[in-house]
Structure 1
Amino acid sequence: MKERILEILKKSNTYVSGQEICKQLNVSRTAVWKVMNQLKEEGYEIEAISNKGYKIKKSPDSITDYELLSQINTKYIAKQIEYYEEIDSTNIRCKILAEEGAQDGILVVADQQTAGRGRRGRAWKSPKGSSIAMSLMLKPDIMPSNASMLTLVTAMALVKGINDAAGVDTKIKWPNDIILNNKKLCGILTEMSSELDYINYVVIGIGVNVNMTEFPEEISHIATSVAIELGHPAKRADIITKTMEAFEKYYDIFLKKQNLEDLVEEYNHQLIHKDREIRVLGSEEEYQAKALGIDKTGELMVELDDGTRKKIRSGEISVRGINGYV
């Protein structure tokens, strides 16, 4: 009921009477009063005036399931949300839910994550109340060989979601690092359970540095947060809902052809290295090239000094700027 009451209050530009809320939800005035008190205890500033009703004056930086569901506008992505104040890993929980038969598009969100992982097994910690740790579970009807492109779809959604919600200008460092002011803002980890010719499920883990104001010394030169760049805190719920809305849009486009053909132009527009010189780092070689953009499979096309063009695949190779991370 919290979700529905929040939704009613947020959609109204004026006061909503307790009687109107009771009528819409078919509940008693006492039930509405109890929920209002609970919301106030959680940090919602709700004004109550006799003969007028209730009005939200200010919302806390909450990412509870009912806060997110009260504002998200999607058809099936994140229409079911599990929220935890603290969890070891949202990806682990999401995989358990998938094995138990959870519905396609379920989202797991945590206020604090203690044992998250990034690419290549690196630790990804999410401090309480200042970051986003979430995992989305999908059951796409695509070939397993095409699943890696979902990471790029997610990167596009994060750029649009963060930019729309916070008013910043994030970009993508191929294939899926989200960059703000030449520093890393987000991490994405995609995991899959599949057979030879079909996918059981895909779990996409997302970590976003939102309101942190400092980082460990070893990563402070390459990491940033939305708050650091804005100069003030951002609402995490806005970033989550805008990102999920953008993901649904891009995901539906991807599913039509099971590739990035109809997303290439927008992805390349978001690509921070487009038409710039980069360093290509492989396990056995390192060279300099010009980044031209991705193709429909998500491979990065580069041009060498002699004019030769080649494609590079993520997972095997990483890229850096000429003089640093970006």
Structure 2
Amino acid sequence: MKHKILQLLKGSGDKFISGQKISDELGVTRTAIWKYINQIKEDGYQIESISRKGYRIISSPDILTQEEIVDKLDTKVIGKNIVHFDTIDSTNIKAKEIAANGEKEGTVVISEEQTAGKGRLGRNWTSPKNKGIWMSVILRPDIDPMRVCMVTQVAAAAAVKAICEMGIDAKIKWPNDIVVNNKKICGILTEMSGELDKINYVVMGMGINVNLDEEDYPIELRDIATSIKIEEGKAIDRKILVAKILNYFEELYNSFVREEDIEKSLEVCREKSILLGKEIQLIGKNEVKKAKAINIDREGRLIVRLKNGKEEAIISGEVSIRGLYGYVD
């Protein structure tokens, strides 16, 4: 009921909506409405109430709920159902749990804070409260399970397009990191449940360091990780950025799944790549090789030229990629 009242308040814009009108539309008493209004205020909304006029929202809190994002979405499926948490261990863990129980495609699990956020290879992901975008999208693509890894590059393309549209010069470090000024601001983790010839579900998790401050990072990460706020010198509207990412993601994801066209995403990944043309290190379990990154092929593999002149296609997850002297340099 609280959500329905909030929708009515937001739908009235800066105009008052009377308690009687809310009561008539929702079939609840004026006393019940007053109690729900107080609960909405506790969530951080500033609401003006005037006798004989009713209620109106003066300001909304910086939270990533369905009500705060839905009016910015142009999607048909992605983000139409947002499951919001104040704090959670991991949005990917929760998304996998509800996906296994049949939750529909496009559902987004998003939290203001993660206590056990994870990146690739099980690495910890710093996820402080109300400062980043920590979200996971449930997908059920009808594609060959071997092509699921390409969802990561669809997501990377969507994220970099959205971030650049906010006026930030962002690049992609193949396959799943977004960087600004040579430091990581975003990581993508795609996980699948399936069989040899069938996908049960895919969870695409994304963590974006939006408004973190330097002190939010452990000292050992400050040379490779940053936030948009640190690099731009100002806070960014998280709600607008979430909506832009989901809008671009649905467009590129539909091209990939329905039209079997991954090129739209790969074109972005090539154009915005921070690695192509650079000398890099390929860090495997037992050896480190130097090579030059020369292309991303039609399968989303990184094509490198080794010191002996041979070309090799690197599959995501096989090795870690580093610059010769640092994270990307």
Q: Residues 108 and 136 of structure 1 are in contact (CA less than 8 Å); yes or no, is this contact kept in structure 2? A: yes
Q: What is the distance in 2 between the residues matched to 1:114 and 1:56?
A: 32
Q: Does 149-158 or 41-50 show the bigger shift?
A: 41-50
In the TM superposition, what is the alpha-carbon distance from 1:144 to its structure 2 partner?
0.9
Q: What is the distance in 1 between the residues matched to 2:46 and 2:89?
A: 31
Q: Which residue pairs with 1:145 in the alignment?
A: 146
Residues 1:172 and 2:136 are matched in the alignment: no
Q: What is the TM-score with the length of structure 1 in the denominator?
A: 0.86
Residues 1:291 and 2:300 are matched in the alignment: no
Residues 1:104 and 2:105 are matched in the alignment: yes
Specify whether residues 256 and 282 from structure 1 end up closer, same or farther in structure 2 by C-alpha distance, changes over 3 A only.
same
Unaligned segments of structure 1, at least 5 residues: none
Specify whether residues 24 and 289 from structure 1 end up closer, same or farther in structure 2 by C-alpha distance, changes over 3 A only.
farther
Give CA-to-partner distance per residue, 1:252-276, whole Å, 9 cap, x none: 0111354623332222112122333
Q: What is the distance in 1 between the residues matched to 2:211 and 2:66?
A: 20
From 229, 233, 236, the equivalent of 2:235 is 233
Q: How many residues align?
A: 325
Q: Residues 98 and 201 of structure 1 are in contact (CA less than 8 Å); yes or no, is this contact kept in structure 2? A: yes
Specify whether residues 56 and 273 from structure 1 end up closer, same or farther in structure 2 by C-alpha distance, changes over 3 A only.
farther
Q: What is the distance in 1 between the residues matched to 2:261 and 2:248?
A: 17
Q: Where do residues 196-215 of structure 1 align in structure 2 (5 Å cutoff)?
A: 196-213=196-213, 214=215, 215=217
Q: What is the distance in 2 between the residues matched to 1:291 and 1:234?
A: 32
Residues 1:117 and 2:118 are matched in the alignment: yes
Q: What is the distance in 2 between the residues matched to 1:2 and 1:258?
A: 42
Q: Which residue pairs with 1:189 in the alignment?
A: 189
Q: Does 80-89 or 139-148 show the bigger shift?
A: 80-89
Specify whether residues 57 and 293 from structure 1 end up closer, same or farther in structure 2 by C-alpha distance, changes over 3 A only.
farther
Unaligned segments of structure 2, at least 5 residues: none
Q: What is the distance in 1 between the residues matched to 2:72 and 2:21?
A: 17
Give CA-to-partner distance per residue, 1:188-242, whole Å, 9 cap, x none: 2111111110111111222111221021011011010122122222222222222
Q: What is the distance in 2 between the residues matched to 1:325 and 1:235?
A: 27
Letter in 2 for 1:15: K
Q: Where do residues 277-316 of structure 1 align in structure 2 (5 Å cutoff)?
A: 277-304=279-306, 308-316=310-318
Residues 1:80 and 2:81 are matched in the alignment: yes
Specify whether residues 277 and 3 from structure 1 end up closer, same or farther in structure 2 by C-alpha distance, changes over 3 A only.
farther
Specify whether residues 22 and 13 from structure 1 end up closer, same or farther in structure 2 by C-alpha distance, changes over 3 A only.
closer
Q: Where do residues 36-51 of structure 1 align in structure 2 (5 Å cutoff)?
A: 36-47=37-48
Q: What is the distance in 1 between the residues matched to 2:272 and 2:8?
A: 36
Specify whether residues 54 and 302 from structure 1 end up closer, same or farther in structure 2 by C-alpha distance, changes over 3 A only.
farther
Q: What is the distance in 2 between the residues matched to 1:149 and 1:229?
A: 29
Q: Residues 133 and 206 of structure 2 are in contact (CA less than 8 Å); yes or no, is this contact kept in structure 1? A: yes
Q: What is the distance in 2 between the residues matched to 1:52 and 1:160?
A: 44
Specify whether residues 20 and 14 from structure 1 end up closer, same or farther in structure 2 by C-alpha distance, changes over 3 A only.
farther
In the TM superposition, what is the alpha-carbon distance from 1:282 to its structure 2 partner?
3.2
Q: Residues 186 and 206 of structure 1 are in contact (CA less than 8 Å); yes or no, is this contact kept in structure 2? A: yes
Letter in 2 for 1:191: E
Q: Residues 3 and 67 of structure 1 are in contact (CA less than 8 Å); yes or no, is this contact kept in structure 2? A: no
Q: Which residue pairs with 1:135 in the alignment?
A: 136
Specify whether residues 67 and 312 from structure 1 end up closer, same or farther in structure 2 by C-alpha distance, changes over 3 A only.
same
Q: What is the distance in 1 between the residues matched to 2:24 and 2:188?
A: 40
Q: What is the distance in 1 between the residues matched to 2:250 and 2:104?
A: 15
In the TM superposition, what is the alpha-carbon distance from 1:57 to its structure 2 partner?
4.3
In the TM superposition, what is the alpha-carbon distance from 1:38 to its structure 2 partner?
3.7
Q: What is the distance in 1 between the residues matched to 2:51 and 2:279?
A: 65
Q: What is the TM-score with the length of structure 2 in the denominator?
A: 0.86
CA RMSD of aligned residues (A): 2.9
Q: What is the distance in 2 between the residues matched to 1:21 and 1:169?
A: 47
Specify whether residues 161 and 48 from structure 1 end up closer, same or farther in structure 2 by C-alpha distance, changes over 3 A only.
farther
Q: Does 281-290 or 131-140 show the bigger shift?
A: 281-290
Q: What is the distance in 1 between the residues matched to 2:2 and 2:159?
A: 27
Specify whether residues 161 and 36 from structure 1 end up closer, same or farther in structure 2 by C-alpha distance, changes over 3 A only.
farther
In the TM superposition, what is the alpha-carbon distance from 1:24 to its structure 2 partner?
10
Q: Does 80-89 or 230-239 show the bigger shift?
A: 230-239
